[in-house]
Amino acid sequence: MSHFQTQLVPPADALRIEAVDFAYGNGHVVFSNLNLSARRGEFVAILGPSGCGKTTLLNLLSGFQQPQAGRLLVDGQATRPELPALGYVFQSPQLFPWLSALENVRFGLRVAADKSFAEQREQALHYLRLVGLEAAAERLPRQLSGGMQQRVALARTLALQPQVLLMDEPFAALDAISRNSMNEETLRLWAELGQTVLFITHDIDEAVFLADRVVVLNIAPGGIHSELAIDLPRPRSNRETRRLPAFLDYRNELMERIGDVMAQSSLLEPLS
């Protein structure tokens, strides 16, 4: 027997979408031969108008929906809802109203049942501390603002220590000030924890501010229209980054691309 053990090399990409076809039961085709990947630690924003399949894409990656062809891999494994490497942050916080902020964060750890009660509470408190809500640990969701509730939801996902975060317009319902604050908070946590992030948004400025790369989707079933690498210095702040001439250049370029998507989609609409 050899004294040397084979070292398993992790895949270079944290997630891969390979030749995926997906259509709903009514025959509506959303994706045809879709291919996309994200490197480890990369922050990718998915941008596109309503009807391009952004949320469907995350549902496929999470395993909530299954493609008719192709495969979806997270950390080299076929995706499924219970995959430990995967975390999902929804559009709304979806907190349990009868549980405190701390117990909401502890909930996933309690279900996993691989730590003692004391260890679960300590880990939950650690992630509440990371999102700046340690002082609100015993408050119920109704005692928290919308932004604070979304911080609790983010802490709940992070507490499970996923390697890939799927974020489905998590700040869309917040006011502009809270949204900008959560954008900065997300980047701070991403820099500290190093997860790969796939972030769905309708907001061009948000995509430019957050991402290493922005993927623009066509109206279904067009798939990917284009990709744009965002070369802005990090760390980023609302006060400084959004004033950079390059920020405006990236925003204007993406506005043109979205405009092109909308123009193409209007050509597909039947004449009345």
Q: pLDDT tens digits, residue range 49-101?
A: 888 888 899 899 988 899 999 999 998 889 988 888 899 998 888 999 999 99
**Total structural domains in the chain?**
2
The answer to whether the pTM exceeds 0.85 is yes
Shared domain for 154 and 235, answered yes or no, is: no
The rounded distance, in Å, linking the Cα atoms of 22 and 29 is 6
pLDDT of residue 266: 64
Mind spelling out the 3-state secondary structure of 240-265?
A: HHCCCHHHHHHHHHHHHHHHHHHHHH
Shared domain for 41 and 60, answered yes or no, is: yes
219, part of any domain: yes
Closest CA to 153 of 117, 135, 176, 127: 127
Peptide bond into 221 cis (omega under 30): yes
Shared domain for 151 and 170, answered yes or no, is: no
Point out the domain boundary residue: 115, 141, 161: 161
- 184's tokens: 């900065």
| Size of the chain in residues | 272
Task: Residue 119: give the domain boundaries.
Answer: 93-161
pLDDT of residue 271: 33
pLDDT tens-place string over residues 153-174: 999 999 999 999 999 999 988 8
123, part of any domain: yes
Shared domain for 102 and 75, answered yes or no, is: no
Point out the domain boundary residue: 161, 181, 203: 161
